[in-house]
Amino acid sequence: MSAQGAMVLGMPLNRLAVPGLVLLILAMMVLPLPTFMLDVLFTLNIALAMIVLLVSLNARRPLDFSVFPTVLLLTTLLRLSLNVASTRIILMQGHTGPDAAGKVIESFGNFLVGGNIAVGFVVFLILVIINFVVITKGAGRIAEVAARFTLDSMPGKQLAVDADLNAGFINEGEARARRHEIGREADFYGAMDGASKFVRGDAVAGMIILVVNLIGGIAVGLLQHNLGVTEALGRYALLTVGDGLVTQIPALIISTAAGIVVSRASSEQDLSREFSTQIFGRPQTLYVAAAVLGVLGLIPGTPHLAFLTIAAALGGLGFWLKRRQSAAFDVEPLALMEEEVAPADVTWDDIPPVDVLALEVGYRLIPLVDRNQGGAALTRITEARRRFATDMGLVVPLIRVRDNLDLKPNSYRITLKGVDVAHGELPTGQVLAVDMGDVLGRIDGTPGADPLTGLAGAWIEAGRKEEAELRGFVVLEPAELIARQVEAVFRQHAPELLGRTEVQQLLDTLARSHPGLVEDVTPRHLPLTSVQAVLQQLIAENVSIRDTRTLFETLAARAPKNQAIDELVETVRAALGRSIVDRLFEGGNALHVIGLAAATETHLLNEMGDEGEALLSPATLDALNEAAERALAEQEEAGYPPVLLISPGLRAILSRLLRRNLPQLSVIAYAEVPADKMVQVSTELTIEEGA
């Protein structure tokens, strides 16, 4: 055969092994086998069981033998198919003699139990009980508990991988490999939990097959071959016991291997080395055991030779271990004299990146942010990001979520570029009932507040949720509270979230729908940083930048004449005036606004001069804030929106001055009011005389 042909035949050989074994198993259940082939297959079954046991003993961790659940299924099917094949031969040719079903069954029936049928049945039942009640049941329970705890610990392990990745301790490839390892571990224990049922079913099937073979063999001997009851019982019972033992012993070996695999913890050593190190590695325990056995050996009536011999052996082993450990300890410090390897130098790659937005939670809040456990908070955060993008035209960057063991179990915190900007703690088993202004009576509970709107509420037990809703309260679950806190953060800090990357993404999107418009603005007339500054100032004043076409058409027309950021912002605001007014007054035609008194406007203009707000005195600033607070209170009491309408020359200045103390107050200019809207000054902002 040519080398090429050998390669063609050799490459798929390992791939054909398992399908070939499955086909062989199916064939044995249907086709009659000669006794020689049956002997070979029984021997192969015992060899496979021994190989599986040795592999399980040498595995350092369960995943080193991850194919074991499938091996368990295939070996169980192999034993059952051998039972079918041997049953066929026993019933058809059992009358011919004890070797009718092959030499292996004959040897197990004669040699192991001395040809005694009663002893054979007892030994078989004991093996079945050991396999079914002790080993299989224990291994199944271990696999079930391990699968449950592995699934419960998956979110924490995955968040730990994300934390290491974000901190720069591992790269993306290592993180992917660790996530895959976590998934494999969960799959393995889940499969072992189900595969243990194969062994239990195999033990039950062995008992049933034994009974069927015995009854069927006696019936065939009596009815078809005219044998006596004693003769039929002698021939078929011996073959049946031999068949049961030759299959039950490998089953017991496989069950033992299953118990070893599921009970193993991950380690750098195989089981034999761990066994000898942990059990026989302490001379003190061997000395104590030797002393106890020595005392028992001196008691009259006990087997002195056995007790004293084993006591002497344990004492000698303890003395040898003591000397070995002392010798090892004497030479151990020499390892410290080896030259230490110089640590790698620090590079820029060693500095972990800072997340724009990050949510850190205590371990009890992990189910709220883990997609595998529902992750209700993540779903609500995504909905909030979508609402904000639709409302303001800004896509908030992805929020990194991780667990933090330094936090209290029910605590969370939100960081912006690595700085803590919001945090909170969710009481266990409680929800927040928020008073939206239309409730029936009060509700008892610990005071709280809605993180998004600031409205007052009360923490109540989750069982009182229906009571609170019937009274008109809006009940916020823990997942929704976390999402609303995150939304409050990115709404409050929206300008900081609009970086150059986000601006470039916005420009790329606009360029696809309106080719040439972006090029007319940047880089032809405005650098990207100026465009970013304009957009950030609009966002800071709660102006939506969703209408990018109008916004950039205005910049394209104005930028060639003037590149001052403040003037560009005012021009864009005037172009977006209808959108601004519609958001503030919810589509109403009559605009009830706060007006600036003429004397106050003159006073501000005279004091500022050409330098702007930099020349305003502290007394004037205090008086302006007090007057704005009074006007805002009157406006809200009248039920009108908190909007201040002033001349274009003062709008940007007053907006900056009043935004810090009164963020809810919107300042618009006359140029932003559409011509079809009717303006009514419902409140007047007046600085008192003497300020």
Q: What is the largest CA-CA distance in the chain?
A: 132
18 has a pLDDT exceeding 80: no
- At 181, the pLDDT band (50, 70, 90 cuts) reads confident
CATH (domain of 580): 1.10.8.540
CA distance 153 to 182: 10
Give the per-residue pLDDT at 126: 75
Asked if residue 146 belongs to a domain, the reply is no
- Return the top range by mean pLDDT from 132-141, 432-441, 485-494: 485-494
DSSP sequence for 402-436: EE-TTS-TTEEEEEETTEEEEEEEPPTTEEEEE--
| Mean of per-residue pLDDT scores for the chain | 78
Min mean pLDDT across 83-87, 419-423, 473-477, 549-553 is at 83-87
Q: What is the pLDDT of residue 539?
A: 92
* CATH assignment of the domain containing 381: 3.40.30.60
pLDDT at 115: 56
Q: What pLDDT is stored for residue 331 in this prediction?
A: 39
Long-range contacts of 104-108 (CB under 8 A, 24+ apart): 104/38, 104/39, 104/42, 104/43, 104/242, 104/246, 105/38, 105/42, 105/239, 105/242, 105/243, 105/246, 106/239, 106/242, 107/242, 108/241, 108/242, 108/245, 108/246
Any idea which of 79-88, 492-501, 539-548, 664-673 has the lowest mean pLDDT? 79-88
For residue 335, the model assigns a pLDDT of 41
> What would the pLDDT profile of 639-691 be if each residue is shown by its tens digit?
899 999 988 888 888 888 888 888 889 999 998 999 888 889 999 999 876 55
Q: Output 205 or 560, whichever has higher pLDDT.
A: 560
Tokens 């916005």 correspond to 506
End-of-domain residue from the set 274, 306, 335 = 274
Domain boundary among 461, 493, 525: 493
N-term to C-term CA, the chain: 108
Give residue-wise pLDDT tens across range 389-420.
998 998 888 888 888 888 888 999 999 988 99
Better-predicted residue by pLDDT, 457 or 330: 457
Q: What is the pTM of this model?
A: 0.52
The count of domains in the chain is: 4
Give domain status of residue 606, yes or no. yes
Residue 69 has pLDDT above 80, yes or no: no
User: What pLDDT does residue 378 have?
Assistant: 87
Same domain? For 653 and 524 the reply is: yes
Does any domain span residue 188?
no
**Backbone φ and ψ of 639, nearest 5°:** 85, 25
Q: Is residue 160 part of a domain?
A: no
Contact, 279 vs 143, CB < 8 A?
no
Task: Give the 3-state secondary structure of 319-337.
Answer: HHHHHHHHHHHHHHHHHHH
Tokens of 584: 């503030």
304 and 261 in a common domain: no
Establish whether the linkage from the previous residue to 523 is cis, with ω within 30° of 0: yes
Task: Write down the pLDDT at residue 56.
Answer: 77
> What pLDDT is recorded for position 10?
47
pLDDT at 330 over 50: no
Percentage of the chain beyond pLDDT 90 is 14
Same domain, 416 and 483: yes
**Are residue 479 and residue 400 in the same domain, yes or no?**
yes
Cite the DSSP H helix spans in 264-334.
271-279, 283-298, 304-331
Identify the weakest region by mean pLDDT among 5-19, 224-238, 419-433, 533-547.
5-19
| pLDDT, tens only, 359-398 | 999 888 888 888 777 778 888 898 999 999 998 998 888 8
Confidence of residue 332 (pLDDT cuts 50, 70, 90): very low
Residues linked to residue 684 through DSSP beta bridges, in sequence order: 595
What are the pLDDT digits (tens) for 562-613? 888 889 999 999 999 999 998 888 877 888 999 998 888 888 888 876 666 6
The predicted-structure confidence for 265-275, as pLDDT tens digits, reads as follows: 544 455 566 65
What pLDDT shows up at residue 415? 92
Closest CA to 24 of 74, 67, 73: 74
pLDDT at 486 over 90: yes
Phi-psi region of 374 (alpha: psi -120 to 50; beta: other; left: phi over 0): left
Residues 315 and 455 in one domain: no
Classify residue 7: in a domain, yes or no: no
Give the domain range for residue 523.
496-685
Residues 107, 245, single domain; the answer is yes
| Integer Cα distance of 82 and 88 in angstroms | 10
Count CB atoms within 10 A of the CB of residue 401.
25
Consecutive H or E run containing 475: strand 474-476
* CA nearest neighbour of 599 among 640, 641, 627: 627
488 and 414 both lie in a single domain: yes
pLDDT, one tens digit per residue, over 90-115 is 777 666 655 666 667 666 666 555 55
Q: Check whether residue 450 and residue 545 sit in a common domain.
A: no
